[in-house]
Structure 1
Amino acid sequence: MHDSAEPPFPHPLLEALRASPDSPAFEQGDRLVSRGELLDLIRRLAAALLDAGLGPGRGVAVRAGVSPEAFAAHMAAHALGCRVLCVRPGYTPRLLAHVLGMGIDAVVVDASTATPELFGAAGPAAMLSLGPVAGAADLLAHPGAGGFPDVTARPDDVALLTFTSGSTGEPKGCALTYRALGAHWSWQPRGWSPLAAEFAESLGRFLLFGTLSSTVILDYLLLCLLGGGTAVIPEEDGGPLFPYAIERHRITGSVMAAPRLCQMLDVLRAERVDVGSLRALILGGSPVGPHRLAEAVKRLGPIVYNGYGTTESGLISMLTPGDIARFPDRAPASVGRPNPGVEISVRDEEGRPLATGGTGEIYVRSPYLMAGYWGRPEETREAVTDGWLRTRDLGHLDEAGLLYLVGRARDVILVNAAVVYAGAVERVLAGHPDVAEAYVAGAPDERTGEAVHAFIVPAAGRTPDPDALTALVRSELGEDGVPQTITTVSAVPVATSGKPDKRALLELYGPAAPRGAR
């Protein structure tokens, strides 16, 4: 549990950088950035942000590529006690205007992200940049200030605004306070659990890609840096990232979603790529079918972890290699045990706790839950009650403490006015030995109101029989859950969040797709 006497975030990181100034923090192509250089960069950017009028309680949006400078900008804003808004790539101008309208005083960009749409959506916010950008003040041109960076964060101020996917509407900003960051499972090394320490040791060379707007990426990046590791940013060469970058850079740890894992396994089946340097491969962001997980363990060894969490809660549970070894028959279908500091309660529709084994909605409680949705008090009250967060996910706990997900409370398809949970159909399909991955979405239907459409990726060397899959779903879920169509695809489109894009699957292969698209 967090000790309230501990210094506020990001002080522990700054101290860790100061303790070993000559060791590398980032590696990007031929460029090495030492811990001392990173600390100096954070100090210089903090002075520049302060001179721009920013400090405790002020809002700073960061939309920049993956670079040492972008990470330093995040940490500098946190040192000043700012509210840092993480802007995902891929937002439309309308969504950009929506998220940047949440009390933002300044927007930090770099040359790769300074688009006209962003400038147009920023409104009255000051435009700041990491390097020369027309129309923005260059923070890196600031001379900086001497001494160790002062950390002026206030515990109950909002430290981070991260955003839900917005797949059913406008993305909601999840507010995380500095107090919560101080209690975070990965960001305070003095309070590390054995699992966090295990990750920190395994991330000696951490493959850093994607976006720093992802708190999942930040979690493991901070574990890497706090544990003395180096974050490796692979150079862009036009080719696929996985698994070649692991071999090229002798990566020891990485985090990825299911589509990236599938890409990696496809290559490893066809080619000899040396990934023997890996000590931890952490899966998260989207469900991984048990067969795909078992294949990953078989090919890569006992280094595969499968995490489950939400934007509102952070990491909830983690399936470890030890769990898989202890329960080889059932653990691959689970998402592991509760993360240290996390309590899980499975409840019925009335919010009453269920006995072990009962299936219901998953509620979680931890020191690092969101404080609420920014500017949405009613939705906050619906989501958080007495310190417990409703995840809207359905599942159950077994007697060994393993958590199993069976669907999404709101990911529903109304077939003949009956509720069909997409996650439940996905679970049944992915449980067939011929299926590596399964994704289910609903589409309007004249006869039934909505209809279930399934998209499957075959297991290696297998050819799924749609009739057998249909019969399997019918036997387990009844007639309403049977997919109207089952389409075999070789790969799944990925949204900007890194998760499978079901909407794109429907557009490419669904009932309204162009003729011949399948």
Structure 2
Amino acid sequence: MENGRKASNSTEAAFPQALIDAFRRHPASVAFEHRSRAVTRGEVLALVTRCAAGLRAAGLGPGRAVALATEVTPEGFAVQIAAHLLGCRVTGLRPGLTPAQLAHVLAADVDVVVTDAAPPPPELLRAAGDLPVLRLDSDLLAAHPHAGPLPGDGLVARGRPDDAALVHLTSGSTGRPKGCVLDYRALTAYWSWQAAHGDERIARLAAGYRRFLLFGTLTSAVMFEHLGLCLLGGGTAVIPAPPLEFPRLVERLRITALLMTVPRLHHVLDALRAGPGRATDLSGLRVLIVAGSPLAPHTLAEAVRRIGPAVHQAYGQTETGMLTLLTPDDLAHGPEGAATSVGRPWARTELSVRDAEGLPVPTGATGEIWARTPCAMTGYWRDEAESAQALRDGWVRTRDVGHLDARGFLHLTGRSRDIVIVNAVVHYCGALERAVAAHPDVDRAYVVAAPDRRTGEAAHAFVVAAPGRTPALDAVREHVEAELGVAGLPSTLTVLTDVPVAPSGKPDKRALLARVRAKAPGAVT
């Protein structure tokens, strides 16, 4: 067992062999619905074969590295699967990377860059420098229109267990994105990419993925994770044409499963509250997973009331995949307090709450969340110091703070590093946000820390008002003090019509902090 992870069965074929075999069994079944184009599983295999032939011609194979700058298309998916089939290390270049970030990522031992942009963007070419930049259409697909099976026994995965398979980039909120590395052992053992889902909870979840809404980017760790659940379960990934008009899009495309960030959920709830014209019919929705940032209990309750029993709340990280899931059954029949949690540990996941010395704390006590799962990263690419901080004896330190209750439900308090230190006293921003958002005048709240000459740091809250309400700073302060016993927090309260969103889909706290520093006009404070 390496890094404390449970080793996968030695006879188990490497990723993506389970997907290849599943597609072979049902070649006529539709894998992707790309706008008005249906692409069967057999047609995807043909695309994979042609892409693999082109990548092999470019010198790629086990241990080599390819960076992909591709859109959400069947072809973009096929080239990634082809690279994995050859045993390559794949890094997805997500939209929104700055030129400096692009150059930093491509300098990390990448051999080839593949793009589907025509022509390739100048900033990508500049960042690539002397690296070969292949076009998906002309250099791979058009150049190998009649590619046959790969040498050997057909489409056989060649990934070696200890080789890096996939590098997921973090948001880069500290400047440079970190690369979370999954090796082929972890990717082969991944809960959503296995042919036989032995876990009953996985099987129940997969049953709802008949028509999974695929949007955003395939470089998203969570989107790629749940795409596997759809495709291996026999479902169809539906790729819509822009613009994404939620929630009407769900009804029009007959979507049964989708992922959503908390800011997008708020937009959906705004639309459902307004209800212009005829009501949106979401009765066909079976799974709506909300993840990415904390969800206030009152917002969760409203989502269930307006959308129905499809609403799930998930918690996880790029470094680990999904760790917990709060299901409709938990909300309807679980213990009191389940709605304030992020659910129970997911398949083959162990959670432990630790103190500052790394020792387990009693049930119900607050500490840092540590996680152990066979799906976890092996470390950060080319960053041994940061890897050593995050990985301890087979466990991943999430840097999130919370507690496990007696029934095994995880309750999050905040980030261990998302803090504000006022008069030498540490306060977790997550706890402050929940206290502010619990005020009846507030719909959602986000807290940032900024330097303060009197107190060292001060907490600044940004809120979106509840419909028809106007938050007052004094009333919110009194409410926070009653909840947490924290006098004088927050220092300022700024009411916004909406909260800025980062490229990751999460609330952009760097943009909020910039507003504090600039004292941005136009906000009510």
TM tier relative to shorter chain: over 0.9
Work out the CA distance in 2 between the residues paired with 1:405 and 1:56.
40
Q: How does 1:344-423 map to 2 (within 5 A)?
A: 344-423=351-430
> Are the equivalent residues in 1 in contact too, given 2:342–2:411 (CA < 8 A)?
yes
CA deviation map 1:420-465 (0-9, x unaligned): 2211211212233443321111123333232211112233444434
> Are the equivalent residues in 2 in contact too, given 1:63–1:113 (CA < 8 A)?
no
Query: Quick one: which amino acid aligns to residue 487 of structure 1?
Result: T
Q: Which residue of 2 aligns with 1:142?
A: 144
User: Is 2:270 aligned against 1:263?
Assistant: no
Offset of 1:418 from its aligned partner?
A: 2.8
Q: How does 1:91-170 map to 2 (within 5 A)?
A: 91-111=97-117, 114-132=120-138, 137-147=139-149, 148-170=154-176
Count the aligned residue pairs: 511
Query: Quick one: which amino acid aligns to residue 366 of structure 2?
Result: T
> Are the equivalent residues in 2 in contact too, given 1:26–1:230 (CA < 8 A)?
yes
User: Is 2:256 aligned against 1:252?
Assistant: yes
> Are the equivalent residues in 2 in contact too, given 1:128–1:139 (CA < 8 A)?
no
Cα–Cα, structure 1 residues 379 and 248, in superposed 2: closer, same or farther, change >3 Å?
Answer: same
Offset of 1:141 from its aligned partner?
A: 2.9
Work out the CA distance in 1 between the residues paired with 2:109 and 2:315.
30
Larger displacement relative to structure 2 (367-376 or 321-330): 321-330
Work out the CA distance in 1 between the residues paired with 2:274 and 2:119.
36
> Are the equivalent residues in 1 in contact too, given 2:53–2:140 (CA < 8 A)?
no
Offset of 1:201 from its aligned partner?
A: 1.4
Query: Quick one: which amino acid aligns to residue 295 of structure 1?
Result: E
Q: How does 1:164-183 map to 2 (within 5 A)?
A: 164-183=170-189
Equivalent residue for 1:21, pick from 6, 27, 33: 27
> Are the equivalent residues in 2 in contact too, given 1:314–1:369 (CA < 8 A)?
yes
- Uncovered stretches (5+) of structure 2, i.e. residues with no partner: 1-5
Work out the CA distance in 2 between the residues paired with 1:449 and 1:74.
48
- Uncovered stretches (5+) of structure 1, i.e. residues with no partner: none
Query: Quick one: which amino acid aligns to residue 516 of structure 1?
Result: G
> Are the equivalent residues in 1 in contact too, given 2:19–2:195 (CA < 8 A)?
no
SS at match of 1:62: strand
Offset of 1:498 from its aligned partner?
A: 1.1
Q: Which residue of 2 aligns with 1:469?
A: 476
Work out the CA distance in 2 between the residues paired with 1:217 and 1:305.
15
Work out the CA distance in 1 between the residues paired with 2:468 and 2:120.
45
Q: Which residue of 2 aligns with 1:427?
A: 434
> Are the equivalent residues in 2 in contact too, given 1:65–1:112 (CA < 8 A)?
no
Work out the CA distance in 1 between the residues paired with 2:411 and 2:505.
22
Cα–Cα, structure 1 residues 3 and 244, in superposed 2: closer, same or farther, change >3 Å?
Answer: same
Q: Which residue of 2 aligns with 1:89?
A: 95
Work out the CA distance in 2 between the residues paired with 1:465 and 1:397.
34
Q: Which residue of 1 aligns with 2:3?
A: none
Cα–Cα, structure 1 residues 396 and 481, in superposed 2: closer, same or farther, change >3 Å?
Answer: farther
Q: Which residue of 1 aligns with 2:214?
A: 208
Equivalent residue for 1:70, pick from 50, 66, 76: 76
Query: Quick one: which amino acid aligns to residue 447 of structure 2?
Result: V
* Identity value in percent: 54
Larger displacement relative to structure 2 (42-51 or 489-498): 489-498
Q: TM-score, normalised by structure 2?
A: 0.93
CA deviation map 1:1-32 (0-9, x unaligned): 74332211101111111111111111122211
Q: Which residue of 2 aligns with 1:243?
A: 247
CA deviation map 1:157-196 (0-9, x unaligned): 0101112222123211111110001111111032442222
Cα–Cα, structure 1 residues 62 and 13, in superposed 2: closer, same or farther, change >3 Å?
Answer: same
Offset of 1:481 from its aligned partner?
A: 6.8
Q: Which residue of 1 aligns with 2:494?
A: 487
Work out the CA distance in 1 between the residues paired with 2:281 and 2:111.
47
Larger displacement relative to structure 2 (414-423 or 77-86): 414-423
Query: Quick one: which amino acid aligns to residue 81 of structure 2?
Result: M
Work out the CA distance in 2 between the residues paired with 1:363 and 1:487.
34
Work out the CA distance in 2 between the residues paired with 1:166 and 1:41.
32
CA deviation map 1:341-374 (0-9, x unaligned): 1110101111110110000001111111110111
Query: Quick one: which amino acid aligns to residue 504 of structure 1?
Result: A
Work out the CA distance in 1 between the residues paired with 2:430 and 2:320.
20
Larger displacement relative to structure 2 (189-198 or 72-81): 189-198
Work out the CA distance in 1 between the residues paired with 2:464 and 2:335.
23
User: Is 2:48 aligned against 1:48?
Assistant: no
Work out the CA distance in 2 between the residues paired with 1:156 and 1:261.
39
Cα–Cα, structure 1 residues 4 and 457, in superposed 2: closer, same or farther, change >3 Å?
Answer: farther
Query: Quick one: which amino acid aligns to residue 389 of structure 1?
Result: V
Work out the CA distance in 1 between the residues paired with 2:119 and 2:378.
29
Work out the CA distance in 2 between the residues paired with 1:144 and 1:439.
54
> Are the equivalent residues in 1 in contact too, given 2:222–2:318 (CA < 8 A)?
no
CA deviation map 1:63-109 (0-9, x unaligned): 11111111111111110010001222111111111111111001111
Work out the CA distance in 2 between the residues paired with 1:192 and 1:491.
42
Cα–Cα, structure 1 residues 113 and 449, in superposed 2: closer, same or farther, change >3 Å?
Answer: farther
User: Is 2:452 aligned against 1:445?
Assistant: yes
RMSD: 1.8
Cα–Cα, structure 1 residues 94 and 398, in superposed 2: closer, same or farther, change >3 Å?
Answer: same
Offset of 1:472 from its aligned partner?
A: 2.1
Work out the CA distance in 2 between the residues paired with 1:438 and 1:300.
22
> Are the equivalent residues in 2 in contact too, given 1:474–1:482 (CA < 8 A)?
yes
Offset of 1:125 from its aligned partner?
A: 2.0
> Are the equivalent residues in 2 in contact too, given 1:160–1:177 (CA < 8 A)?
yes
